[in-house]
Structure formats: structure tokens, C-alpha cells
Amino acid sequence: MTKVDFIEKLRNSPIPVVVDFWAPWCGPCRSIAPIVEKLGHEFAGQVDVWKVNTDHEQDLMRALRIYGIPTLIAFNAGQEVMRRTGAAPAKDLRSLFEAAISGNKPAQVNQTPVQRILRLVVGLALIIIALILGLSGINWLLAGLGAVIMFSAVYDRCPIYRMVSTRIKEIFRITPSST
């Protein structure tokens, strides 16, 4: 399927669409599949769910700039309104379906590229200082702090972090406080 064919199919869809780009060998794809299926049933008649096997649609994947799977994209009236890459909890996947229905792009809370670069540079500087001073005593803490700062620049793009944090929250039933 070409990008033009895909866009045409989206435009002809009478209701919003959530497209699940997946592959049969992808563990995170398989882990969210039951959630996507459940949400598909819950939003039946309001949102269509399409599944695209990226092994068979490499050209479409490149055309839509999909660089990792699973990637779910919400479309309303043929326009992308939200995208999610990596395994995610049900509430995050639900927001895709809600965005598809409303057609409104949710507010972004992601870091800007400048913020990411600054965190990476500061973290790297702390690690380099610790290495120059010699990794002993307090300098280990300095290097560790540098590593944590660097990780804070990229953690939201890390599918392993998302999957592990989701599991930990489920284990401890951590819920946001209602204040």
C-alpha cells in the first residue's frame, strides 16, 4: 500500500481511525495487542482500528516516519491527531482513541530538543569531571548524578523504561493523587 492509497483510505473512512503498526515478532506489539483489541470493542462504531504489519508495508512505514514499533496513530478526518510509540498502559492507549474521536491534539508535555541537549551536555560534563578527578569516593556520586541527568533527557523515548515503569505501577498499584 502506498502512502497515497493509505491517505485516500483514511479520507474515505466515515469515522476516526486508530492504526496499529506492528509485527508478529515484536514482543511489545504482542503485549499491547489485547489492550488495543479491548479498546477497539469499547469504541466500536466511534473509532475503527486498523492493523498494519510493518514487515509487509515497509514503504508505508518509511513514508509515515515510523521508526519503532509498536506505533499507534490516531487519525480524524484523514489528519493525524496523536501518535504513540512503544508499549504503553491502557490509559495512555485510551487517550489515542479519545483524541481520534475529538480530533483535538492533546497538550504536549515533552521536552524540547534544546532541553534534551542541555540535559545530555550537563550529564556528560558531570561524568567527565568525575572521570578526570578519579572515580573514588564522592566522585562516584558525581558520575551517577551525571548518568541520571542524561537519562532524564531520553527516558520518555525509552520503550523498556515505559514497559518496566508500567509493570512497577501495576505491582504497587500506584495511582496519581486526586489533589
From the candidates 18, 26, 32, 73, which is the catalytic residue?
A: 26
Residue 12, classed as helix, strand or coil, is helix
From the candidates 10, 29, 39, 163, which is the catalytic residue?
A: 29
Residue 72, classed as helix, strand or coil, is strand
Q: Is 158 a catalytic residue?
A: no
Residue 49, classed as helix, strand or coil, is strand
H helix or E strand, kind and range, residue 22: strand 17-22
CA dist 26 and 2 (Å) reads 23
Q: Decide if 47 contacts 17 (C-beta within 8 A).
A: yes
Q: Is 29 a catalytic residue?
A: yes
DSSP class per residue in 35-48: HHHHHHHHTTTT-E
Catalytic residues: 26, 29
